[in-house]
Amino acid sequence: MAQQGWDPRGPRRTTTTEHGRQAGSPDPGRSQGRPTRVTPETSPESFTREQRRNFRYTNRPEPEAEPEPEKKKPRRRGPAPGSFFDFGRIKFRWFRIEGVDFNFVISLLFLLGFGLLMVYSASAYVAVRDFSDQTHFFRSQLRNDIIGLIFMVLVAYFPYRFWQKLRHVEYAMALLVVALVLVFGVESHGATRWVSLGPIQFQPAEAAKLAIILYLAAIVDRYGKSIDEPMNFITFLLLPLPICAEIYLLTDNLSSAIIVYGIAGVMLFVATRGFKVFGILLIIGGAAAAGIVGYVANMTLTEESSFRLGRIVAWLHPENSTDRAAHQALQSMYAIGSGGIWGKGLGQSVQKLGSLPEPHNDFIFSVICEELGIVGATVLILLYLLLLGRMYAIARNTTDRYGFMVVVGTMAHIALQTVLNIAVATNSIPNTGVSLPFVSFGGSSAIFTLMEIGLVMSVHRYNVLEAKEERA
């Protein structure tokens, strides 16, 4: 019995389709676009050879589409996402940290940790001798660093442009805080440089440094490009003088007065476009300093001579001087020289055992060189350079002049104080009594310097968030 729809005589010489099927004949595997039910009568076993070939061809499964080749992702420069060195942004389920330069934060934390370690090592002997507790200075410095970090975070999350509106208040507060030593001053080491307000005791000169940075940054933003005009230029140079004079006359702290005016000089140098004036000022200042040193070197000191003149003589000839500053300079150089390249080992310093005054404060760099050698001192200097480098990058990416100058002022403060401390420890300049930022023992210096770091973080954070809003 012939199947309906099929010619029982087999294939004939007729026109076939491109699939080998006779034109007009039904598909052996499909009927009107629907699959044909296979029964014993319509099974392929009853087909002729040609019908079987057509059946196999038309019921062949369609080949699967080849998957499209994956597009290569653009090569990402820098550390791999999620790796240890990828500090760009950290995301968590419950909060997200945005606008934080983690390279900057980590370099700061390394400095603070290094400072705590060296404060403990340098002060253990003095702490046992004076307080019967070798961790006395370490615990005090740890508390000061924690307080400073809390203030740093609070300042970092506060809009930094708010302080621009209070520029006159900041200037007045700087003058007022330094004047507090007349009423609430506390004498220490022969000078009244601390203010005691109940349980709070601090150095007003450190607060003045923070205030002068904020005030002068606002003045630069107000003047704009007109700061190059002679009148504005001279006015800017005169503005810090009252604060510097007050610090020097009331607290007898020449080094802090020099640093405050140095901060102002660096900010003015960055804000102006001319360099000839600064070259002339540097030549005049260098000639004046050389003249003073030459005059002191040829004079005979008496008991009525100023102790600062004695420090200059002790700096020029420490081996022939009986001044305390000469003793400090000699012991500092002994410590640096005995450390060599690799140092004697952590905690193995000899000069800190009563020979070197203030081993955990002004001369902590000498203890670092003695215990960790030139290698340890180089690592410390590289940490400072990394911190200053990140601050330079933040300043370059800042869009407004006020934020830029705040970062520049903080950079100037940290750089000047670091250079002066190391120069004193190596007897490159006369003894000035300057602490090493983030490393030396000291509460006022740590807290107010960390607040300046908070200002830098605030500048970076709000500029990043504003740039993100503009892109959106």
Mean pLDDT of 133-160: 93
Structure tokens at 253: 């702290």
Residue 378 has pLDDT above 60, yes or no: yes
- Give the mean model confidence (pLDDT) for residues 381-390: 94
Range scoring the smallest mean pLDDT among 181-190, 393-402, 440-449: 181-190
pLDDT range class, residue 211, cuts 50, 70, 90: very high
What would the two tokens of residue 209 be?
A: 């440094």
pLDDT attached to residue 112: 95
Q: What is the mean pLDDT of residues 280-294?
A: 79
pLDDT at 45: 60
C-alpha to C-alpha distance for 440 and 206, rounded to whole angstroms: 14
**Rounded to an integer, what is the distance from CA 226 to the centroid of its chain?**
31
Backbone angles phi, psi at 191, to 5 degrees: -140, 145
Residue 23: other Cβ atoms inside 10 A: 8
Higher pLDDT pick, 110 / 433: 110
Mean pLDDT of the region 453-465: 91
> pLDDT category, 97, cuts 50, 70, 90?
low
Torsion (CA) 79, 82, 83, 86 in degrees, nearest 10: 50
Could you read off the pLDDT of 36-90 as tens digits, one per residue? 444 555 555 666 666 666 655 555 556 666 666 666 555 544 444 444 444 444 4
Among 263, 260, 264, 274, smallest CA distance to 225 is for 274
Radius of gyration of the chain (CA): 39
Per mean pLDDT, which of 14-28, 180-194, 414-428 is the most reliable?
414-428
DSSP lists the bridge partners of residue 194 as: 186
User: Distance between CA atoms of 213 and 296, rounded to whole angstroms?
Assistant: 34
Structure tokens at 290: 């050389």
Task: Give me the count of residues in the chain.
Answer: 472
Q: Look over the chain and give the mean of its residue pLDDT values, rounded to a whole number.
A: 80
Who's near 158: CB < 8 A, 6+ residues apart?
Answer: 458
pLDDT tens digits along 221-259:
999 888 888 898 889 999 999 999 999 888 888 889 999
pLDDT on residue 207? 93
The structural domains of the chain, with segments of one domain joined by +, span 102-270+320-471
With a pLDDT cut of 90, the percent of the chain lying above it is 40
Distance (Å, whole) CA 385 – CA 348: 27
117 pLDDT higher than 90: yes
pTM above 0.75, yes or no: yes
User: Could you write out the DSSP letters of every residue in 290-353?
Assistant: HHHHHHHHTSPP-TTS-HHHHHHHHHH-GGG--SHHHHHHHHHHHHHHHHTTT-S-TT--STTT
Q: Per the structure block, which two tokens stand in for 334? A: 């002994």
Residue 161 pLDDT exceeds 60? yes
The token pair at 120 is 């403990």
Categorize the per-residue pLDDT at 137 as very low, low, confident or very high, splitting at 50, 70 and 90.
very high
Give me 307's structure tokens.
Answer: 């102790």
Long-range pairs for 317-322 at CB < 8 Å and ≥24 separation? Answer: 318/427
**Residue 252 and residue 193 in contact, taking contact as beta carbons nearer than 8 Å:** yes
> In whole angstroms, what is the distance from residue 39 CA to residue 35 CA?
12
Helix axes of 401-425 and 364-396: crossing angle, nearest 10 degrees? 160
Q: How far apart are CA 83 and CA 92, in angstroms?
A: 15
Q: From CA 339, how far away is CA 295, in angstroms rounded?
A: 35
Q: Residue 333 pLDDT more than 70?
A: yes
Q: Once rounded to an integer, what is the mean pLDDT over residues 174-186?
A: 90
